[in-house]
């Protein structure tokens, strides 16, 4: 049964600021802080538990798979979205066309650009599906835009890629954890674990459809990419892992020890409940902005960005209100630990100098 959200936040979070900046970095639950501390202390004591726990990494893999609706065999773990995207970029033949939204997050664009022998084309997010053509090999985009919270029409883009025989890569970093995101329709998805998934930097997730797994070469394969990794610590590995685990990086154990209680908390609460909570707060903020005469970027996401107010970020931070300035916009983002009082405090601060 889903855990009541208010009960979860009282037990798990104790931010010292009015924290409205999850789109930059989430707040670690207290249970995750305890898990990191336990591992660090064991490592400092030279105890075997300080080596890190691969079984815990596999439990995190399974929890993430449940969260995004895919089989565990489709999930690889790593440390950064750009590394996952780079693996996909390396798989494309010279001259292949990659289509991206204008102004999307750099990590879903740069790995294709820096190859130098790919054709990278851009289109407005709202017109991305129409921009897919017969020469398009891959569409790479974020499910939710980092700068302003616009939500992509993923179904339309997927239909267009299917019609033209193109593959599709979706960055779910700003979606998974608050938005009911299903990774199963896409060839590849990438997700950083330190924002809405309430984890720490160093945990990220790559999903690869069964059909697309043979399209990628595990270029950074170490012993953890072997089917039997403890039999592959020296010399060439006897056999690659059969599923997406062949694309694993060696895990950053502190991040994955933190991720287990964080993902468990999201599962207990339920993403639908988090979505309802977050979007209600965003709607409250949008209504308050309208009363103050400010017009945010249109949308219904848990991320709300306002043109013309980016210069207020520093003074808000000084007042104990954490937001961010991105692409000339003041960006506020609302998660399960945010309250109506937090929203109202931000509105009051903006009104004081409106």
More confident residue, 354 or 1: 354
Alpha helices by DSSP H, listed for the chain, are: 5-12, 30-44, 54-68, 81-91, 110-113, 128-131, 154-164, 253-269, 271-292, 313-318, 340-352
**End position of a domain, from candidates 199, 232, 267:** 267
- The pair of structure tokens assigned to 7 is 């009960």
**End position of a domain, from candidates 237, 267, 297:** 267
Per-residue pLDDT for 329 more than 60?
Answer: yes
pTM for the model stands at 0.96
C-beta of residue 140 within 8 angstroms of C-beta of residue 152: no
Confidence category of residue 2, pLDDT binned at 50, 70, 90? low
- The pair of structure tokens assigned to 267 is 């599962």
250 and 151, same domain (yes or no):
yes
Q: What angle do CA 233, 65, 33 make, to 5 degrees?
A: 75
Beta bridge partners of 166: none
Confidence category of residue 9, pLDDT binned at 50, 70, 90? confident
pLDDT in tens, 273-312: 999 999 999 999 999 999 999 999 999 999 999 999 999 9
Alpha-carbon distance of 37 to 344, in angstroms, equals 34
| Mean pLDDT within 165-176 | 98
More confident residue, 2 or 303: 303
229 and 311, same domain (yes or no):
no
129 and 274, same domain (yes or no):
no
Per-residue pLDDT for 154 more than 60?
Answer: yes
256 and 291, same domain (yes or no):
no
C-beta of residue 136 within 8 angstroms of C-beta of residue 97: yes
Q: What is the mean pLDDT of the chain?
A: 96
- pLDDT confidence of residue 208: 98
104 and 13, same domain (yes or no):
no
Is 34 a member of any domain? no
Of 101, 94, 97, 52, which is closest to residue 77 (Cα–Cα)?
A: 52
- How many residues in the chain? 354
pLDDT in tens, 182-195: 999 999 999 999 99
- pLDDT confidence of residue 353: 66
For 23, 129, 191, 194, the CA distances from 76, given in Å and listed in that order, are: 23, 28, 11, 16
Alpha-carbon distance of 215 to 88, in angstroms, equals 8
| Mean pLDDT within 235-242 | 94
pLDDT in tens, 74-98: 999 999 999 999 999 999 999 999 9
- pLDDT confidence of residue 297: 97
C-beta of residue 66 within 8 angstroms of C-beta of residue 181: no
**End position of a domain, from candidates 267, 283, 307:** 267
Q: What percent of the chain has a predicted confidence (pLDDT) above 70?
A: 99
Is 208 a member of any domain? yes
Phi/psi of residue 352, each to 5°? -60, -30
- The pair of structure tokens assigned to 9 is 């936040």
| Mean pLDDT within 260-268 | 97
pLDDT in tens, 206-226: 999 999 999 999 999 999 999
- pLDDT confidence of residue 1: 36
- pLDDT confidence of residue 93: 97
Over the Cα atoms of the chain, what is R_g?
21
Is 59 a member of any domain? yes
45 and 18, same domain (yes or no):
no
Confidence category of residue 6, pLDDT binned at 50, 70, 90? confident
306 and 241, same domain (yes or no):
no
User: What CATH number corresponds to the domain at position 323?
Assistant: 3.90.1150.10
- The pair of structure tokens assigned to 81 is 């979205």
pLDDT in tens, 225-235: 999 999 999 99
Per-residue pLDDT for 354 more than 60?
Answer: no
User: What CATH number corresponds to the domain at position 174?
Assistant: 3.40.640.10
Domain range for residue 99?
40-267
152 and 19, same domain (yes or no):
no
pLDDT in tens, 132-151: 999 999 999 999 999 999 99
- pLDDT confidence of residue 341: 95
């Amino acid at each position: 049964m889903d855990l009541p959200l208010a009960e979860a936040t009282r037990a798990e979070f104790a931010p010292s600021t009015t924290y409205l900046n999850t789109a930059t970095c989430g707040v670690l639950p207290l249970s995750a802080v305890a898990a990191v501390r336990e591992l660090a202390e064991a490592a400092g004591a030279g105890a075997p538990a300080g080596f890190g726990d691969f079984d815990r990494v596999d439990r995190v893999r399974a929890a993430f798979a449940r969260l995004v609706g895919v089989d565990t065999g489709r999930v690889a773990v790593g440390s950064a979205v750009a590394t996952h995207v780079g693996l996909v970029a390396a798989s494309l033949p010279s001259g292949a066309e990659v289509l991206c939204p204008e102004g999307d997050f750099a990590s879903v664009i740069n790995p294709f650009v820096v190859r130098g022998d790919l054709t990278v084309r851009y289109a407005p997010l709202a017109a991305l599906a129409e921009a897919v053509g017969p020469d398009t090999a891959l569409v790479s985009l974020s499910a939710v835009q980092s700068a302003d919270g616009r939500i992509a029409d993923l179904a339309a883009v997927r239909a267009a890629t299917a019609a033209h025989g193109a593959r599709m890569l979706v960055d779910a970093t700003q979606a998974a954890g608050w938005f009911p995101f299903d990774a199963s329709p896409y060839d590849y998805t990438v997700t950083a674990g330190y924002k809405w998934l309430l984890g720490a930097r160093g945990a990220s997730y790559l999903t690869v459809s069964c059909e697309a797994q043979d399209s990628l070469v595990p270029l950074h394969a170490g012993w953890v990419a072997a089917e039997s990794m403890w039999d592959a610590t020296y010399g060439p590995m006897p056999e690659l892992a059969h599923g997406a685990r062949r694309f694993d990086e060696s895990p950053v154990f502190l991040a994955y020890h933190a991720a287990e209680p964080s993902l468990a908390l999201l599962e207990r609460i339920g993403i639908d409940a988090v979505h309802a909570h977050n979007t209600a707060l965003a709607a409250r903020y949008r209504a308050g902005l309208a009363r103050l005469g400010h017009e945010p970027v249109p949308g219904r996401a848990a991320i709300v960005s306002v043109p013309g107010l980016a210069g207020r970020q520093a003074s808000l931070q000084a007042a104990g209100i954490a937001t961010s300035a991105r692409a000339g916009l003041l960006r506020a983002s609302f998660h399960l630990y945010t309250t109506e009082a937090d929203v109202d405090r931000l509105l009051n601060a903006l009104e004081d100098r409106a």
